[in-house]
Amino acid sequence: MEYIWSPRVTFATLVLIYIIACTLVGLYGRNRVLGFWGFFALSYVFSPFLMFLFLAVTNTRRG
């Protein structure tokens, strides 16, 4: 079977997309209690989609 892209390139692309998604979640959560790095790390461990949903339903930091 001939691949259009090699599996190695496909995996690297998926990892890059995942890290970009984690970065976007971190940017979205930068005004929260955990800040950018907290939400970046949580989205890396759990899932960027799950953390984005969490950020969408919670309030921003007050004060």
Nearest residue to 50 (alpha-carbon basis) of 30, 14, 21: 21
Map out the domains of the chain as residue ranges: 7-57
Burial class (CB in 10 A: 0-12, 13-18, 19+), 62: exposed
Q: Taking all residues of the chain, what is their mean pLDDT, rounded to a whole number?
A: 90
Under 8 Å between Cβ of 18 and 40: no
pTM here is 0.83
Amino acid letter, residue 26: G
Q: Tell me the pLDDT tens digit for each residue of 29-58.
A: 998 889 999 999 999 999 999 999 999 998
Terminal CA-CA length for the chain: 59
